[in-house]
Amino acid sequence: MLERLFGLKAHGTSIAAEALAGATTFLTMAYIIFVNPAILGDAGMDRGAVFVATCLAAAFGSLAMGLLANYPIALAPGMGINAYFTYTVVIGMGVPWPVALGAVFVSGVLFLLLAVTRVRETIINAIPRSLKLAISAGIGLFLGTIAFENAGLVVAHPATLVTLGDLHKPNALLAVIGFVAMVAMQARRIPGAILIGILGTAAAGMAFGLSPTPTAILAMPPSLVPTLFKLDVIGALNLGLTTIVFVFLFVDLFDNAGTLIGLAHRGGLLDSQGRLPRLGRALLADSLAAMASGLLGTSTTTSYIESAAGMSAGGRTGLTAVMVALLFLAALFLAPLATAIPAYATAPALLSVACLMTRSLADIDWDDSTEAVPAVVTTLAMPLTFSIAHGIGFGFITYVAIKALSGRLREAGPVVILLALAFVAKYALPG
């Protein structure tokens, strides 16, 4: 049966190799089951329910990718978009979290429609490469800002907006040590470095009495009822919330396209023309996972770049992704540990992911100011306005304005121009 489903022999792999690859991928991305409840918990959501929703969404998404597209690519609620969900939409804009979940679901439906038409390719190809790279880097800096705040390394200041926190506090020191140790383990290619860093930092904090020790490690999963089907789709369809839906859709669209192509290139999955076979099926799996996220009660699910670890360990087919799904289901019984992880223990993971995302700045054409300057504006605006949406808006407006005044408006293209004008109208309208 497995041979029929995944073509193991044709891909030069075996059940044992795929199982090992799946375990490797899971270890590199399992940090999300600790980080996601902490972030969405700040939005007022039940952390236990979010933990269950995170595991189930990751299992469903990975299973769909493995069975529909037969790729060794795992999915889980994405980093960056979960921060946008909590800190920009719910806290910053005052949107109730059920409405935000409704926006996640609606964006998943729209992504599904784009996945079965050629509109998806049109949009992806129309956005300038420099802005795609800048959006990734900007989300990285956004995560880095949250990491510094959660660790207590920076605090608010009435004159300078932010300033240095109290470095004598044990939680700040533990976060710094945890981050350095995490990066060192990554450099040594130790599987599960981020997960080990989170657990090690949390354990040290508990040993010093900085946070309570969980009474158990394993237990039956908590109830999903507090978040299951609690989405407010009608509220999300409110005209005033179209930007929120757009950002969820936009980030999911480009994050997945970039991740899929990057992983396919790294894993040798591209065809002779440099295209990814079964791309439509892969995007279908992702869009279904995004819709499931809103129904279960978590932020948008997306493909994980950490899947490259499993590929390097020998993963070649969707059986790797299926193994990841099974491990996420097994992780459901780790709820007592997941809900006891403090913010200073997940801060090193956020900062580690931030560093990986900001490396995309290296690929920008710095010799062309009409490309580089809008990219910098996009990247800086996200953490400074504490909003991915504003960063994208400032980037598009700056890009079109500079191209127009430089006599190179044709390079922007009609899609980018229309998006820029839409953002101008949004900022021009009162409120």
Residue 299: both structure tokens together: 């932020």
pLDDT band at residue 95, thresholds of 50, 70 and 90?
Answer: very high
Cα dihedral 146→39→187→151 (10° resolution): 50
DSSP letters for 201-248: HHHHHHHTTSSPPPS-S--PPPPSTTTTT---HHHHTSGGGHHHHHHH
Residue 380 pLDDT greater than 80, yes or no: yes
Residue-wise pLDDT tens digits, 414-426: 989 998 998 898 7
Among 361, 395, 410, identify where a domain stops: 361
Mean model confidence pLDDT for the chain: 88
Closest CA to 218 of 337, 51, 46, 329: 337
> 381 and 347 in one domain?
no
Token pair 């059986």: residue:
319
At 162, is the secondary structure helix, strand, or coil?
Answer: strand
Quote the percentage of the chain above a pLDDT of 70. Answer: 93
**Which of 140-149, 170-179, 248-257, 382-391 has the weakest average pLDDT?**
248-257
> 293 and 383 in one domain?
no
**Residue 139 vs residue 200, higher pLDDT:** 200
Residue 178 is predicted with a pLDDT of 94
Residue 408 is predicted with a pLDDT of 96
Mean pLDDT of 129-135: 85
> 343 and 369 in one domain?
no
Among 333, 361, 389, identify where a domain stops: 361
Residue 265 is predicted with a pLDDT of 61
Question: Would you say 49 and 308 are in contact if contact means Cβ atoms under 8 Å apart?
Answer: no
Residue 40: both structure tokens together: 């969405």
Residue 261 pLDDT greater than 70, yes or no: no
- Residue 66: DSSP 8-state: I
At 156, is the secondary structure helix, strand, or coil?
Answer: strand
Residue 124 pLDDT greater than 80, yes or no: no
Residue 128 pLDDT greater than 70, yes or no: yes
> 381 and 261 in one domain?
no
Residue 202 pLDDT greater than 70, yes or no: yes
Rounded Cα gap, residues 187 and 352, in angstroms: 12
pLDDT band at residue 171, thresholds of 50, 70 and 90?
Answer: very high
> 143 and 106 in one domain?
yes
Rounded Cα gap, residues 156 and 422, in angstroms: 33
Residue 300: both structure tokens together: 């948008």
Residue 285 pLDDT greater than 70, yes or no: yes
Residue 50: both structure tokens together: 């979010």
> 387 and 321 in one domain?
no
Residue 348 pLDDT greater than 70, yes or no: yes
> 384 and 328 in one domain?
no
Among 326, 361, 396, identify where a domain stops: 361
Q: Give me the domain span that covers residue 320.
A: 2-361
pLDDT band at residue 338, thresholds of 50, 70 and 90?
Answer: confident
At 152, is the secondary structure helix, strand, or coil?
Answer: coil
pLDDT band at residue 309, thresholds of 50, 70 and 90?
Answer: confident
> 386 and 306 in one domain?
no
Residue 419: both structure tokens together: 């998006």
The total of structural domains in the chain comes to 2
Mean pLDDT of 241-269: 72
Residue 127: both structure tokens together: 């956005």
> 185 and 103 in one domain?
yes
Rounded Cα gap, residues 295 and 189, in angstroms: 36
Residue 54 is predicted with a pLDDT of 97
> 387 and 277 in one domain?
no
- State pTM to two decimals: 0.77
> 242 and 201 in one domain?
yes
Mean pLDDT of 204-224: 90
**Which of 31-35, 133-137, 185-189, 376-380 has the weakest average pLDDT?**
133-137
Residue 266 pLDDT greater than 70, yes or no: no
> 110 and 247 in one domain?
yes
Residue 274 pLDDT greater than 60, yes or no: no
Residue 140 is predicted with a pLDDT of 83
Residue 359 pLDDT greater than 60, yes or no: yes
Residue 353 is predicted with a pLDDT of 80
Residue-wise pLDDT tens digits, 47-79: 999 999 999 999 999 999 999 999 999 999 988
* Residue 217: other Cβ atoms inside 10 A: 11
Residue 258 pLDDT greater than 80, yes or no: no
**Which of 31-40, 210-219, 363-372 has the weakest average pLDDT?**
210-219
pLDDT band at residue 239, thresholds of 50, 70 and 90?
Answer: low
At 77, is the secondary structure helix, strand, or coil?
Answer: strand
